[in-house]
Amino acid sequence: MKIGGLLKFSMIDFPGYISAIVFTQGCNIRCKYCHNPELLSVNSDTNYSEEEILFYLEKRKKCLEGLVITGGEPTLQADLKDFIIKVKAMGYKIKLDTNGTNPQVVKDLIDNNLVDFIAMDIKAPFEKYFQVCGPVDTEKVKESMSLIINSKIPYQFRTTYYKEVLNDADIEAIKAMCPDVSKFKLQECLPVTEIKPTLKLEHAI
């Protein structure tokens, strides 16, 4: 696993569970509002080894309940499944954050009961995806949506309200794609310059 960041403790990122968050290195799309530019390149140096993360989780398993795996885009990691198996063996619940571009990975994790919650971004109505994040195979995004909706796993779809491209009608159109609107979350798009990079602040395990 290429891991660019660790947040050691969160009460708000995994519904129902006190969790840690790992940020995987590398993303296959380029959202114009991305707040984690340090994580975009798959070739960047990583800040943590998998062993460091597993060591931390082993030490904290009495006070942490879950691990959020976010990015970057976690489904790009060739050894994601093996990593999750190791973390679940410690008793942790797993939340996966994904942009939905790798449905085959999402399906494999669902089929093998390796995820307990999935949060997937819907960047825009499909005809506007390119304007928000460049070239994306939206058929794969649709496939991931369908897999998640038809799984028995708790999930959330979420959209960042990027007002340079999206408008209220677009948000309504995205909601209309969600069979259960209570599982849709609209996120504020914060100015990138106001976001402080936190990814390297937590290195002292």
Q: Does residue number 29 form part of the binding site for ligand SF4 (CB under 6 A)?
A: yes
- Identify whether the C-beta of residue 116 lies closer than 8 Å to the C-beta of residue 87: no
Burial 177-203 (b: 16+ CB within 10 A, else e): ebeeeeebeeeebeeeeeeeeebeebe
Q: Does residue number 109 form part of the binding site for ligand SF4 (CB under 6 A)?
A: no
Q: Does residue number 71 form part of the binding site for ligand SF4 (CB under 6 A)?
A: yes
CB of 52 to ligand SF4, least distance (A): 22
CB of 89 to ligand SF4, least distance (A): 28
Stretch touching ligand SF4 by CB under 6 A, among 5-13, 25-33, 164-172, 180-188: 25-33
- Identify whether the C-beta of residue 24 lies closer than 8 Å to the C-beta of residue 50: no
CB of 122 to ligand SF4, least distance (A): 11
Indicate which single residue of 16, 30, 163, 172 sits in contact with ligand SF4 (rule: CB under 6 A).
30
Partnered with residue 69 across adjacent β-strands are 22, 96
Q: Does residue number 54 form part of the binding site for ligand SF4 (CB under 6 A)?
A: no
Indicate which single residue of 1, 6, 22, 27 sits in contact with ligand SF4 (rule: CB under 6 A).
27
Positive or negative: CA dihedral 106, 18, 189, 202: negative
* Short-list 24, 111, 131, CA closest to 67: 24
Q: Does residue number 103 form part of the binding site for ligand SF4 (CB under 6 A)?
A: no
